[in-house]
Every structure is written in C-alpha cells, then in structure tokens.
Amino acid sequence: ELKVEQNPLFLSMQEGKNYTIYCNYSTTSDRLYWYRQDPGKSLESLFVLLSNGAVKQEGRLMASLDTKARLSTLHITAAVHDLSATYFCAVDGSGGSNYKLTFGKGTLLTVNP
C-alpha cells in the first residue's frame, strides 16, 4: 500500500524567509504532484514531476524529485503573504493499469508580515 508522508504539517513563516516542505513516499511511482489549496476551495495544480532529478520552478516555489530516495521537496524562497495556503503532495500509484492518486496530509503554510 502506497503511503505518502509530508512534513511539517504546520509551518509559520515570516515574509522574506526561505523554507522547505518534504514529501516522502513508500513505493516506486510514475509521477509526483504538488497542489495548493486555499480555504474552502478546490485544488490548484502547481507542479508535476515525472523523473528522477526533475526540478520545476514557478515564481517563489521550486519543486524537486529524487526517486531513489522517494523524496520530493517544495522549496519556498522569500515568502510573501500570498503564499499562505495548504500545500499537498500526491503520488500517482498504479496497481497494474489502475492509476490513483494518494495524498499526503498537507502542510498548512502561514506567512506572517
């Protein structure tokens, strides 16, 4: 059974600081996703990571994937208040051809002025 663990679950940051969210998963996988969720809203796709060593960046967020360590990171650079949200990693596991997404519990990020 695929398990996905995120840490930290809660993160309070000051504006301008850097921090990293970690996502570990238990079995090999085809893809890893990062999503953002604002309160009361659906999920917004941030990144899709497909292969070992993949790195993607969008604004102040950068995601990376190490498939050998089964680890993905979401790095936040010079945080701003608008980044306050819950961030989820999710792993695309397959039992044969039955793909399904397994989520971590999420990291609630609060960026303080």
CB of 23 to another protein, least distance (A): 11
Q: Which residues of 48-71 are buried (b: 16+ CB within 10 A; e: fewer)?
A: ebeeeebeeeeeebbbbbebeebe
CB of 31 to another protein, least distance (A): 7
Query: CA dist 13 to 29, 40, 77, 102, Å?
Result: 31, 22, 11, 27
Tokens of 33: 């996703």
Residue number, 2 or 62, with CB nearest to another protein: 2
- Chain residues binding another protein by CB under 8 A are 4, 31, 33, 40-43, 45, 48, 88, 90, 97-106, 108
CB of 100 to another protein, least distance (A): 6
